[in-house]
């Protein structure tokens, strides 16, 4: 399944890149296929490994402040693999044109 998540520490200033960096170090070290986007991080895997990863990221963010808002979107589809690459590719085939990625 595909999961996108975004972790927002509240009340520690309006620049969050140092905190997002800590989160992305954890994701990068996980070995799971991922993509860092301007609005979140997309990771592909199974429920338990993905939620364990996001818990670790969320708990890390909680260390630096009193409040964290985390949003998660899950797209789970039976019998499909490598959707982190194939979903956009499948749309490009339908359009007949490469999209900006």
Where do contacts with its own copies occur on this chain (CB under 8 A)?
A: 2, 4, 6, 8, 10-18, 20-21, 24-25, 28, 33-40, 42, 47, 51, 55, 58-59, 62, 65-79, 83-85, 87-88, 90-91, 94-95, 97, 99-101
Alpha carbons 59 and 78: distance in angstroms, whole number:
30
Q: How far is the CB of 59 from its own copies (least distance, A)?
A: 8
Question: Distance between CA 24 and CA 57 in Å, rounded?
Answer: 8
Enclosing H/E stretch for 33: none
CB of 94 to its own copies, least distance (A): 4
Q: Which residues contact 20 (CB under 8 A, 6 or more apart)?
A: 7
Residues 73 and 53: their CA atoms lie apart, in Å, by 14
In whole angstroms, how close is the CB of 9 to its own copies at the nearest point?
8
Strands ordered across the beta sheet of 34-37: 2-10, 40-44, 34-37
Nearest distance from C-beta of residue 4 to its own copies, angstroms = 4
């Amino acid at each position: 399944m595909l999961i996108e998540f975004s972790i927002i520490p509240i009340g520690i200033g309006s620049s969050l890149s140092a905190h997002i960096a800590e989160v992305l170090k954890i994701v990068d070290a996980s070995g799971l296929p991922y993509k860092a986007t301007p609005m979140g991080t997309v990771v592909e895997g199974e429920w338990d490994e993905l939620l364990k990863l996001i818990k670790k990221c969320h708990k890390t963010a909680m260390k630096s402040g009193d409040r964290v808002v985390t949003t998660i979107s899950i797209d789970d589809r039976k019998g499909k693999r490598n959707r982190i690459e194939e979903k956009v590719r499948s749309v490009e085939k339908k359009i007949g044109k490469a999209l900006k990625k």
